[in-house]
């Protein structure tokens, strides 16, 4: 009889432990990746897509005049584009741990979002499609997507920056930390904040 009770007790303990795994954890969920990024937060995704598209277009045009020209344009265009997209209560921007412009240093909730993207990158996960989404009880939404270094970025952010670009960077951004990247590297994040529609 005692021999039968021991396996039964063990089975109950194993089942209880397994059921405990289904309970929600206190920590926030990790950054997620799925085909429904745009539907997870349509406003956030649309605002960030517009920020990336407009900034890419401005920099592509500026690069026609040479990479040093792009340094100057980025210094003025990036903020103007972000400010222009701040409509209907949506604010957007970029943040990184290695800023060129100190105003783009990661802060507050962006640190948690970027840490999740960094962990995903370190684990070898694909960054395309990842997003961070938190909806707070007060109706505030915080949404972010990774910024991945593209070939276009390497002239000003790569490991081998030309001397004329270095000179332009030293003049415009004396505390620049934003070089040394390779294509495909995680550069930082693009973020959006807004309140749920009434």
127-180: pLDDT as tens digits: 999 999 999 988 899 999 999 999 989 999 999 999 999 999 999 999 999 999
| Cα separations in angstroms, 168 against 17, 124, 176, 197 | 60, 34, 11, 43
b/e per residue 128-146 (b: at least 16 CB within 10 A): eebbbbeeeeeeebbbbbb
Q: What is the pLDDT of residue 195?
A: 85
Would you place residue 40 in the very low, low, confident or very high pLDDT band (cuts 50, 70, 90)?
Answer: low
Cα-based angle 179, 105, 178 (whole degrees, multiple of 5) = 5
Q: What is the pLDDT of residue 24?
A: 32
For 174-195, what is the mean pLDDT? 95
Domain count, the chain: 1
Cα-based angle 10, 16, 19 (whole degrees, multiple of 5) = 140
Which residues on neighbouring strands pair with residue 147, listed in sequence order?
A: 188
Q: What is the pLDDT of residue 139?
A: 86
**Tokens found for residue 123:** 């684990």
- What are 56-98's pLDDT values in tens digits? 999 999 999 999 988 888 878 888 999 999 988 899 999 999 9
Query: What distance in Å separates the CA atoms of residue 44 and residue 134, rounded to the nearest whole number?
Result: 11
pTM, to two decimals: 0.77
**Tokens found for residue 64:** 């026609």
184 or 3: which leads in pLDDT = 184
Q: What is the pLDDT of residue 75?
A: 78
Q: What is the pLDDT of residue 141?
A: 94
Would you place residue 196 in the very low, low, confident or very high pLDDT band (cuts 50, 70, 90)?
Answer: low
Q: Which contacts (CB < 8 Å, 24+ apart) does range 103-109 have? A: 103/79, 104/188, 106/188, 106/189, 109/134, 109/142
Q: What is the DSSP track for 17-48? A: HHHHHTSPPSSPPPPEE-TTHHHHSHHHHHHH
Its domain, for residue 12, covers 2-195
Query: What distance in Å separates the CA atoms of residue 10 and residue 77, rounded to the nearest whole number?
Result: 65
Return mean pLDDT, the chain. 82
CB 171, CB 123: distance < 8 Å: no
Please list the alpha-helical segments (H only) found in 22-136: 37-40, 42-63, 67-84, 109-122
């Amino acid at each position: 009889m005692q021999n039968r009770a021991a396996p039964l007790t063990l089975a109950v303990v194993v089942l209880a432990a397994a059921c405990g795994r289904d309970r929600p954890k206190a920590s926030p969920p990790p950054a997620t990746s799925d085909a429904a990024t745009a539907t997870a937060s349509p406003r956030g995704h649309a605002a960030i897509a517009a920020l990336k598209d407009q900034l890419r277009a401005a920099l592509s045009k500026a690069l026609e005049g040479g990479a040093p020209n792009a340094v100057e344009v980025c210094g003025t265009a990036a903020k103007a584009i972000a400010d222009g997209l701040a409509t209907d209560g949506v604010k957007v921007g970029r943040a990184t741990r290695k800023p060129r412009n100190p105003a783009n240093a990661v802060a507050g909730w962006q640190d948690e979002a970027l840490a999740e993207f960094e962990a995903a990158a370190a684990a070898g996960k694909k960054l395309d499609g990842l997003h961070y989404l938190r909806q707070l009880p007060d109706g505030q939404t915080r949404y972010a997507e990774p910024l991945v270094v593209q070939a276009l970025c390497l002239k000003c952010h790569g490991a081998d920056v030309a001397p004329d670009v270095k000179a332009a960077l030293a003049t415009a951004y004396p505390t620049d930390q934003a070089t040394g990247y390779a294509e495909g590297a995680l550069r930082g994040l693009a973020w959006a904040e807004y309140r749920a529609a009434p």
